[in-house]
Amino acid sequence: MDDILIKAGQCIKCGRCLAVCPVYQVSTQERFSTRGKLTLITAFLNKEITTSVAFEETIGACLMCNQCNQACIFNLDVPKIIQGTRKILWKQRRLHLNYPWILNKFLANYQRFHLGIWLRLAGLFNPSLDVPSKPFLSGRVPENPNAKVAIFIGCAINLLYPYLGERIITLFEKIKIPITIPKGQTCCGLMAYSLGDTQTAQSLAKRNVQIFRSLSVDYIIAPCASCFHHLKTYEVYQKAGISQKVIEFSQFLLRQDLEVSSPYKVTWHDPCHLRYHHNIWKEPRALLMRLGKNFVESSPNGQCCGQGGPFGLIHPKISREILKRRLLKIEASGAEAVVTTCMGCFIQLKEIGNKRVLHILDLL
Ligand code: SF4
Ligand code: SF4
């Protein structure tokens, strides 16, 4: 706690972050700005204020996009400060019955209970979501003990878009690289981590570590940018030597001799986890530029879609307004489809934004 207190207290309220924080730009509420949140966190940790609905709302008003970190002269790691505060709040709350809590429990436990019940619960979030009858990982997947590449599939592909899992198998067959997709893998734990539920985040990560550490692979590839980020940065994965093997999907693909094709004019949507946390934005564009005139730019400096893990559930109105601004840019670019690799952005743009959304896998 002292660490968060020191970091939050370092903010000098200069306001440079106001220009980049999507939540502030849409809400224009000072308490939702980066410096507003840091001021309240400092007051809370100093016991000058106690927790309240308004305070929890404020702490929930962060997409963990990391844009403020880049604007801040002190490089304050705001997502870490926010997560640390959420951790304290998560421990203090006795009753958590809300949408983010249900989603967190669903992702942590869907393998233990009857899938149909959980999928119906998941359907609560968007009744129009076309939920497949069985997860990708319960079908036939390659489990090759000699493979040098392992795939971390992630919840969204496993539960909602299994066709993308099939495309991974086909792609690696095409490039003749044997892969293994261990069936015992589970959620990476990012949702639990973002909510401050570290107990669940740790137990999920430990389950994955057990599975992936037993493999003699050189690379672990996650086709979802958010899973990639969590596998790369979460201390449980780092300490177990998993993070060191994780390679970002577009960086891996760029090394392969691959043709990229699309019947649509496409634009790239930068996942915040790639662009603002890992400075990865050139590689996916380099791949899409192979499309020639079928690639158009819609956000040279990146632009958040408003999803942000639990953010869209905690602040749906602000989330949709951020999305609206992103969609306007996409429309202005003349693109007929948006390509991304973050499954959170994929869901936000497709299921809420009603856009034609493709994964990079759809073009290979
Ligand atoms: S840029 Fe950094 S120091 Fe300035 S107000 Fe924002 S968080 Fe505080
Ligand atoms: S991480 Fe993103 S949403 Fe959160 S305070 Fe920083 S800029 Fe705003």
Taking only the tens place, the pLDDT of each residue in 86-139 is 999 988 875 566 767 777 777 777 665 555 555 555 555 555 666 777 889 989
**Ligand 2 probe mutation, 63, 82, 318, most atoms within 8 A of CB:** 63
Smallest CA separation from ligand 1 atom 3, residue: 11
Domain ranges for the chain, please list them.
2-92, 99-253, 259-363
Say how many Å lie between the CA of residue 32 and the centre of ligand 2.
9
Minimum-distance ligand 1 atom for the alpha carbon of 78: 7
Residue 226: phi and psi, rounded to 5, are: -75, -40
**Residue 345 CB-half CA count within 13 A:** 29
Task: Classify domain 99-253 at the CATH class level.
Answer: mainly alpha
Q: What is d(CA 36, CA 321) in angstroms, rounded to the nearest whole number?
A: 20
What was the pLDDT predicted at 3?
Answer: 83
- Whole-number pLDDT of residue 9: 87
* Cβ of 23 less than 6 Å from ligand 2: yes
Distance from residue 21's CA to the centre of ligand 2 (Å): 5
CA of 238 to the centre of ligand 1 (A): 29
Whether 337 contacts 322, CB under 8 Å: no
Indicate if ligand 1 lies below 6 Å from the C-beta of 206: no
Task: Pull the structure tokens for residue 331.
Answer: 């429309």
pLDDT at 194: 93
Nearest-atom index, ligand 2, CA of 17: 7
Q: Determine the pLDDT at residue 8.
A: 86
- C-alpha closest to that of 309 among 338, 284, 272: 272
pLDDT of residue 97: 60
Fold of the domain built from segment(s) 259-363: Rossmann fold (3.40.50)
CA distance 65 to 343: 15
**Nearest protein CA to atom 7 of ligand 2, as residue:** 21
* Strand, helix or coil for residue 357: strand
Report DSSP state, residue 45.
H
- Ligand 2 centroid vs 188 CA: distance in angstroms? 22
76 pocket-lining for ligand 2 (C-beta < 6 Å): no
Mean pLDDT by 10 residues, the chain (364 residues): 79 96 97 96 93 91 95 93 93 69 72 56 58 85 95 93 96 97 95 92 96 96 98 98 98 94 97 98 97 96 94 92 97 97 95 93 96
Tell me the pLDDT tens digit for each residue of 330-345: 999 999 999 999 999 9
Predicted structure pTM score: 0.93
Which residues pair with residue 142 across a beta bridge? Answer: none
Contacts of 48 (CB under 8 A, 6+ apart): none
pLDDT in the model for residue 93: 75
Please give the CATH topology (third level) of the domain spanning 2-92.
Answer: Fumarate Reductase Iron-sulfur Protein; Chain B, domain 2 (1.10.1060)
The verdict on the CB of residue 74 being under 6 Å from ligand 1 is yes
Residue 16's CB is within 10 A of a number of other CB atoms, namely: 14
186 lines ligand 2 (CB under 6 A): no
Ligand 1 centre distance from Cα of residue 172 (Å): 45
The one-letter code for the residue type at 40 is L
